[in-house]
Amino acid sequence: MKTCKLLAALLLIATSAAQAQQTPADAPKPPLGFFVTSSGLGKGADLGGLSGADAHCQKLASAVGAGNRTWRAYLSTQAANGQPAVNARDRIGTGPWANAKGQIVAKDVAHLHGDVIEQARLGNNLSRTTVITEKGEPVKGAGDKPNEHDILTGSKADGTAFTDAADHTCKNYTSSAADGSAQVGHFDRTGGGNTSWNSAHGSRGCSQENLVGTGGAGLLYCFASN
């Protein structure tokens, strides 16, 4: 009887020790929910509209085994031709979103955009080390050659569309002309203008050459909306 009790006690101790030794690394890695596109479409800010941008995100996600989720490009559009504006923040689901390494970049839409003072003070987890491609590769930022830190968003810092008469979306991502402009963010949170990840400055034109000259390559943020 004493032997049985001793064995039971030893088993309990061993189980407790094993549980105590578990680390967060033992937990399943969150599924891919966020990335910067590893390549653009090559036509400047002409993405084929929102649908073309979404299809690009979906294609790249599918190539790395994440095509079972619904992917949306983080883009706002301006009201035009009788159609209402679309806010990027309303397209991307509710979160949380993890990168290809399993790191959570934002818990929810409010955390992503710093909707309240405390969230704005602390910030989200988007940085040069966490904003990576669908393949888990780094994106070229300030100091790299070429610098490709400009990410197309067409958005204000709160993730909503611009409401003035100026073009902030290269005609809602249908233009690759030398004129016009699209708002971009700096994924590496550095560089000219402000350091916003989603609303740093406008591009100098809409062509591929214009985007490259500004410091970009026509890359996008992609979020899983489900």
Give the pLDDT mean for 188-205: 91
Give the pLDDT mean for 160-184: 98
In a domain, 17, yes or no: no
Which pLDDT band, with edges at 50, 70 and 90, does 186 fall under? very high
Confidence at residue 70, expressed as pLDDT on a 0 to 100 scale = 99
Going by C-alpha positions, the residue among 108, 90, 87 that lies closest to residue 34 is 108
Give the pLDDT mean for 143-171: 97
Both structure tokens of 200: 């740093």
Q: Which residues lie across from 219 on neighbouring strands?
A: 151
In a domain, 206, yes or no: yes
pLDDT(3) > 70:
no
pLDDT(23) > 70:
no
Q: Report the CATH number at residue 93.
A: 3.10.100.10
pLDDT(24) > 60:
no
* Mean pLDDT, all residues of the chain: 90
In a domain, 13, yes or no: no
In a domain, 6, yes or no: no
Confidence at residue 201, expressed as pLDDT on a 0 to 100 scale = 96
Domains: count for the chain? 1
pLDDT(122) > 80:
no
In a domain, 14, yes or no: no
DSSP alpha helix (H) spans, the chain:
2-21, 49-63, 109-113, 117-122, 170-173, 208-214
In a domain, 3, yes or no: no
In a domain, 193, yes or no: yes
Which pLDDT band, with edges at 50, 70 and 90, does 118 fall under? low
In a domain, 67, yes or no: yes
Contact 154, 76 (CB under 8 A): yes
Both structure tokens of 92: 């991307």
Confidence at residue 12, expressed as pLDDT on a 0 to 100 scale = 47
Going by C-alpha positions, the residue among 226, 173, 209, 208 that lies closest to residue 40 is 208
Confidence at residue 210, expressed as pLDDT on a 0 to 100 scale = 98
pLDDT(158) > 90:
yes
Its domain, for residue 211, covers 29-224
